[in-house]
Structure formats: structure tokens, C-alpha cells
Amino acid sequence: MSEIHEGMDVGYVAKLACVDLTDEETKLFQGQLDQILHYVEQLNELDVKDVEPTAHAIPVYNVLREDEVGTSLNHQDVMANAPASTDGQIRVPKIIDQ
């Protein structure tokens, strides 16, 4: 068993998480975990010394637009569609008790 596999016991992790697994589930999940860790070992063997570290696989840019003044709904239309209102304001359920 390689260094990456040491301590990777599904039964132990399930116990820590207070998750009851049957013997069949433990065996299934241990096999799946072993496959994942084997794949990680293969990735660790890759020569990446000439690869620049990145946070994303492709460049990510903020897509911004200029603020533009547009038309908005008139007050009466908004209030007509509000489920509840008081004094020209939309009433919403209280979410914080004080």
C-alpha cells in the first residue's frame, strides 16, 4: 500500500462521521476510494515542472457591462402584483425575531 493509501479506511471515516455502513457498503466504498487514490497516485507521477500553476483550467475574466439607465416598472404595477402591501410598500414575512 502506498503512502497516499495509509490511513484511508472507509470504516474508520464512517465511524468518525457517525455513519452506519453495512459490511457490503464498506467493501464497496473502500474499493471506490482505492480506485480514486490510485488515480491520484498516477497524477502525482506526472512531470509538471514546466507547467505554470493555475487556479482554473481556462482563463477566467469578469464580464462587466456599463451601467445603463433603462425603463422600470411603475409603482402602481409593482404594488398591484405584490402579495401584501402597506402604505405603498411591499410587506414581506418577518425573518428575524428580536
Coil/strand/helix, residue 90: strand
Contact 39, 46 (CB under 8 A): no
Amino acid at position 93, single letter? P
Query: What domains can you pick out in the chain, each with its CATH number?
Result: 3-44 (1.10.20)
Contact 59, 53 (CB under 8 A): no
Give mean pLDDT in consecutive 10-residue pieces for the chain, a chain of 98 residues: 67 92 94 92 92 86 89 93 94 86
Which residues lie closer than 8 Å to 94 by C-beta, 6 or more apart? none
Coil/strand/helix, residue 78: helix
Query: CA 84 to CA 70: how far, in whole Å?
Result: 27
Phi, psi of 34 (to 5 degrees): -60, -40
